Amino acid sequence: MIETPSVDWLALSPTLALLAASIVALLAAVLVGPWLRKPIAAAAAFTGFGAATICAVVVYVDTERPAFVLEESLTRDRLAALAQVLLALTGAVVVLVSWAERRREEHGEYYALLAAAGAGMLFFVGAGNLMTLFLGLEWFSLCLYILVAFDRERATSLEAGLKYLIVGGFGSAVLLFGAALVYGATGELGFSQIAAAEAGGDAFLVAGLAMVIAGLAFKMSAAPFHMWTPDVYQGAPTSVTAFMSAATKIAALVVTLRVLVTAFPDESETWTIAVAVLAVISLAWGNLAALAQSDVKRLLAYSSISHAGFMLIAVAAGTERGAESLLFYLVPYAAMSVGAFAVVAARERELETDVRLESLAGLGWERPFYGIALWVFMLGMAGFPLTGGFFGKLFVFSAAYDAGDWWLVIVGVAATALSLAYYLNVVRWVYMRTGPELRVAPAGGSPPRDSALGVAVGAAVAVTIGSFFAAQPLLDLASDAASQLPF
Amino acid sequence: MSGPGVGWYLIVAALLFGTGALGVMLRRSPLIVLLSLEIMLNAANLTLIAFARQHGSLDGQVFALVVMGVAAAEVAIGLGLIVAMARRRLPLDVDQASALRG
């Protein structure tokens, strides 16, 4: 008899649920007839994301204090559990958005990859050492590379996939080299052991830290590591873009927060400045470039870069309040960005072309529900009251102010004012166009009924507005999660 | 018997990493770019193994094995993409992949 290590299966259950869903969807692709593949694969992915949500909620409730799983390679705490709930809910909504995507075959593979990418993200947010960090990052990135290039008949989809693979692979290699240097400086891989073994001011450690931050910045598309984002968001199938914009950002930011706080507490003076600089560049570049865009997916891509800037302000605060404001910000942000891309997907399926600002003309009158929804998302991203985006920005700014970063608050407020220009421009195109500009009529007759997409958009609207009215309970959840980090 | 110090391994690794990074940024064929990505990952592997020997721990060696597996998966996907592009008669040139811009 050999002794087997004890495994905390509950902590792993959200990831395992999605892996199981992925396997079922993949088996459906080979075992059942073509007409049944799509419903079975989609149902498996949806069930998997739902089951992962439930498991993550159980883990959240059940975790009184942080613990380690599998020889300290994974962390079980409320931060990971809360991020997993958010990621799994996002994934479930994306399954609904994907349902009516015009694609004749390979449904099984699509949903299997979606579930596998979700599983990788759920694994990633619980990373407890540099190896699981790299493994989790590559796990979901590899799935996303394929998903981006999934529409092989479109040249732009393939081009986006190749660009994402090259730039993403470059980012991963930078992160890996940084991890190797940190390992060299401390002799440890675990985040908490690195913090304990830290030799202050070691050049290897600082260089490694810088490369780890750069590698993660590639994934969260913070400027100046954002160059892939507009191309990939535009070229990828819109439902995949929705998933990437919300879920990748949640995963990358939560892990950035975790790595910096748990592994590098002694270097906090260095990394708060580095992160603040990234935040300022992202805010400036994202907002200025968004002003010049006419393709809606590109515009939303630049908007997501600027949102990465807002979230990095919260990380740069380096305090528990910063962490809790980041976690709160992610809730309305995920809903708004999935929702906005879902509306774009609806328009794209209706017109059967790329959605430019002109293609939105008259959307508010032709499809009142999608029009109002897009209006809500745009106002929410700009931070108007009655949407959760307002409290998200407010909490981030107050955390930064408390940490003494008043200059970040000024940059943030200026960026918000600037962003009004392009968010309101979208609303203007949706409603306030008359005469000849409204001629861009649907291709032929009424669009196919797509109730799954309607449900997805409705859910996103509900969360966007609900997170304004339920701000306090959400903030309590976030602060419970943030309090388990060693500040 | 003592071999060269860890510093020498690091210099080689840094040179490899720089070569790979330059290759990714300058070369135009996606195949060479993938090759350069592999060189970058292997530079990190060399660093990990050198430090693992220095610290006398196995963590770095295990990490390097994991990285090899991941690198193989990444290259498989990259080659798959390139084959898909070649079948569609798209130009196999990173500089010409510019349908998406703005």
Q: Per residue in A280-329, pLDDT tens? A: 999 999 999 999 999 999 999 999 999 999 999 999 999 999 999 999 99
Nearest Cβ partner of B77 from A135, A146, A174?
A146
Domain for residue B2, yes or no? no
pLDDT at A140 over 80: yes
Contact (Cβ atoms closer than 8 angstroms) between residue A459 and residue A93: yes
Average pLDDT over chain A reads 92
Average pLDDT over residues A353-369: 86
- pLDDT value of position A446: 59
Q: Per residue in B7-63, pLDDT tens? A: 899 999 999 999 999 999 999 899 999 999 999 999 999 999 999 999 998 999 999
pTM: 0.94
Query: Helix A320-351 and helix A78-98: axis angle, to 10°?
Result: 10
State how far the Cα of A480 lies from the Cα of A265, in Å rounded to an integer.
Answer: 20
pLDDT at A441 over 60: no
3-state secondary structure chain A: CCCCCCCCHHHHHHHHHHHHHHHHHHHHHHHCCHHHHHHHHHHHHHHHHHHHHHHHHHHHHHCCCCEEECCCCEEECHHHHHHHHHHHHHHHHHHHHHCCCCCCCCHHHHHHHHHHHHHHHHHHHCECEHHHHHHHHHHHHHHHHHHHCCCCCCHHHHHHHHHHHHHHHHHHHHHHHHHHHHHHHHCCCEHHHHHHHCCCCCHHHHHHHHHHHHHHHHHHCCCCCCCCHHHHHHHCCHHHHHHHHHHHHHHHHHHHHHHHHHHCHHHHHHHHHHHHHHHHHHHHHHHHHHHCCCEHHHHHHHHHHHHHHHHHHHHHHCCHHHHHHHHHHHHHHHHHHHHHHHHHHHHHHHHCCCCEHHHHCCHHHHCHHHHHHHHHHHHHHHCCCCCHHHHHHHHHHHHHHHCCCHHHHHHHHHHHHHHHHHHHHHHHHHHCCCHHHHHCCCCCCCCCCCHHHHHHHHHHHHHHHHHHHCHHHHHHHHHHHHCCCCC
- pLDDT value of position A133: 96
Domain for residue A17, yes or no? yes
Q: Per residue in A82-121, pLDDT tens? A: 999 999 999 999 999 999 887 778 889 999 999 999 999 9
Domain for residue A3, yes or no? no
> How many domains is chain A built from?
1
> How many domains is chain B built from?
1
- Residue A273: pLDDT band (50, 70, 90) is very high
Percent of chain A with pLDDT over 90: 78
Q: Which residues of B touch A160 (CB under 8 A)?
A: 100
State how far the Cα of A214 lies from the Cα of B56, in Å rounded to an integer.
Answer: 29
Q: For residue B28, which phi and psi values (nearest 5 degrees)? A: -105, -25
Residue span of the structural domain in which A335 resides: 9-482
Residue span of the structural domain in which B29 resides: 7-90
Q: Which residues of B touch A298 (CB under 8 A)?
A: 102
- pLDDT value of position A440: 53
User: Position B18: which residue type?
Assistant: G
- Does B85 reach chain A within 8 Å, measured CB to CB? yes
Q: Residue B23 belongs to a domain with what CATH number?
A: 1.10.287.3510
- Does A161 reach chain B within 8 Å, measured CB to CB? yes
Contact (Cβ atoms closer than 8 angstroms) between residue A16 and residue A123: no
- Does A430 reach chain B within 8 Å, measured CB to CB? no
pLDDT at B3 over 80: no
Q: Which residues of A touch B59 (CB under 8 A)?
A: 131, 183, 188-189
Q: Per residue in A331-342, pLDDT tens? A: 999 999 999 999
Domain for residue A245, yes or no? yes
- Residue A34: pLDDT band (50, 70, 90) is confident
Could B43 and A146 be called an inter-chain contact, meaning their C-beta atoms sit closer than 8 Å?
no
pLDDT at A70 over 90: no
Average pLDDT over residues A186-215: 88
Prediction ipTM score: 0.95
Domain for residue B32, yes or no? yes
Domain for residue B28, yes or no? yes
- Does B65 reach chain A within 8 Å, measured CB to CB? no
pLDDT at A442 over 60: no
- Residue A434: pLDDT band (50, 70, 90) is low
Domain for residue B78, yes or no? yes
Q: Per residue in A373-429, pLDDT tens? A: 999 999 999 999 999 999 999 999 999 999 998 999 999 999 999 999 999 999 998
Percent of chain A with pLDDT over 70: 96
Nearest Cβ partner of A159 from B24, B78, B97?
B97
